[in-house]
Structure 1
Amino acid sequence: MTAFETPGDSTRVRPRRRADAERSRTAVLDAAVRLLAERPDAGMAAIAGAANVTRQTVYAHFGTRDGLLEAVADRITGEAMAAMDEAEEDGSTALDAILRLQDIGWRLFERNPVLLQLGSTRAGADVDRARHEPVAARLTRLIEKGQASGEFDSAPSAPWLVAAVTALGHAAGDEVGADRMSVEEAATWLRTSTLALLGVRLRNSAP
């Protein structure tokens, strides 16, 4: 507080600065999501330019490029969870819901190839696991529902099936990241493998 400010003036300035900082951070994150969808290798300077701020501002908000990537992943995950909430509310079968969740995830993955850069380090992998915990909880609920209704094989435990379905998703992402499969091919084989794992293909083909 300066000699020309009253205590009330100082109190008003601090919330305004916080609001300005939050708007600046949101603008950087919005720009990063847009630019990284087009150029997954875009650096901090390019992102700063897209957000109409200085590079120092980007670093002030996110610290490092990895920190910014994590924030981008959190934003994308939030969008995915909102879409999954909407998809699960329509009363569809457990199988339809799981396949729709996979489709939502892969559409976001296709639009945001920068997600391939995450999880490459131990710290990144730990954060990635924490980010997927809500998805695992949702899968557990849907698989238990499908087993109770007879849609899925009831012999394997639900936690095992959740772990296996999740591993299939990571394997599909790895194949895309290594350029051994296109996003479309990986999504198709992930769906086929998921159906087989849950026992759906075997049950549907039984006489």
Structure 2
Amino acid sequence: MSQSQARKRRADAQRSVASIVAAAVQVLNDDPDASMEAIARAAGVTRQTVYAHFPSRDHLLRALLDRVTAEAVAAIDAADIDSGTALDALFRLLEASDRSAGRHPVLLQTLRAMRLDQSADAQLHAPVADRLRRILRRGQETGEFDRQLATDWLIAATIKLGHASGEAVGDGRLSKSEADIALRTSLLRILTPGQTR
């Protein structure tokens, strides 16, 4: 096989993967129990092509998780989190992440149910954690946020509270506005100096 043929095959494979992932995002957001066959039809490929790239449903769901995370990171980066007060930047990060998540509510419930090992979960959250670290350290340096609490703990707490907020809305335990207020209030109590003494 010539180099140009090999490049063409790689480009075709990349297009197939992109089509499958894009179709799966839409199909599974409409019906989380949709079959691989339904995803293949929506992507305009055969079921065998889907399985050639994603040997199992779990492999496909992991690719969707990566895609949704990349979308959230792009939204966060567009929110200009390096300007203004650290608290304002944190709330802009949360709003950007929330807008991104709002595009795929049903799919996100399916993805939240996935069981990732600790290493995979940390890798998945690393881009968001890096951006949170910048904001939180800035807030600790300026005195907006409590300096006695470890930054890594604050990152973990912020991510977990964000997930809890989304899950409460998804489960119907809280309305969207109630969850937003609970998340902001909880973060203020954790982050603000003097609140937890």
TM-score range, shorter chain: 0.7 to 0.9
Q: Which amino acid aligns with 2:99?
A: R
Normalised by the length of structure 2, the TM-score is 0.85
- Give 1:116 deviation, angstroms: 2.2
- Runs of 5+ unmatched residues, structure 2: none
For 1:123 and 1:90, locate their aligned partners in 2 and report how far apart those are by CA, in whole Å. Answer: 31
Q: CA deviation at 1:156?
A: 2.1
In structure 2, the CA distance between the partners of 1:178 and 1:129, relative to structure 1 (3 Å rule), is farther
Could you say which residue in structure 2 is the equivalent of 1:15? Answer: 7
When Rg is computed on C-alpha atoms for both structures, the one with the higher figure is 1
Of 20, 23, 29, the residue aligned with 1:28 is 20
Out of 199, 202, 205, the residue aligned to residue 192 of structure 2 is 199
CA distance in 2, matches of 1:100, 1:200: 21
SS at 2:2 equivalent: helix
Residues 171 and 141 (structure 1 numbering): CA distance in 2 closer, same or farther, change over 3 Å? same
Rate the CA distance shift 1:125–1:108 in 2: closer, same or farther, 3 A.
Answer: farther
- The residue type equivalent to 1:25 in the other structure is V
The equivalences for 1:1-207 within 5 A come to 10-88=2-80, 91-113=83-105, 114-118=107-111, 120=113, 122-123=115-116, 126-199=119-192
- The answer to whether the 8 Å contact 2:40/2:50 transfers is yes
Distance change (3 Å), C-alpha of 1:119 and 1:39? closer
| Paired residues of 2:75 and 2:100 also in contact (CA < 8 A) | no
Q: 1:176 touches 1:186 (CA, 8 Å); kept in 2?
A: yes
1:120-140, CA deviations, whole angstroms, 9 ceiling, x for partnerless residues? 454366423311022122212
Q: CA deviation at 1:15?
A: 1.6
TM-score by length of 1: 0.81
Deviates more, 1:11-20 or 1:92-101: 11-20
SS in 1 for 2:78: helix
Contact 2:81/2:89 (CA < 8 Å) preserved in 1? Answer: no
Distance 1:55 1:44 in 2: 7
Partners of 1:25 and 1:159 lie apart in 2 by: 35
Contact 1:83/1:104, CA 8 A, preserved across alignment? yes
SS, match of residue 154 in structure 1: coil
Deviating runs (4+, > 6 A) in structure 1? none
Segments of structure 1 that go 5 or more residues without pairing to the other structure are 1-8, 203-207
**Alignment correspondent of 1:205:** none
Alignment root-mean-square deviation, CA? 2.4
**Distance 1:167-1:11 versus aligned 2 partners, 3 A rule:** closer
Percent same amino acid at aligned positions?
48
Q: State the number of aligned residues.
A: 194
Deviations 1:9-65 (Å, cap 9, x if unpaired)? 633322211111111111111111222233333221111111111111111111111
The 1:37–1:117 alpha-carbon spacing in structure 2 relative to 1, beyond 3 Å, is closer
Whole-Å Cα distance in 2 between the matches of residues 74 and 10 of structure 1?
33
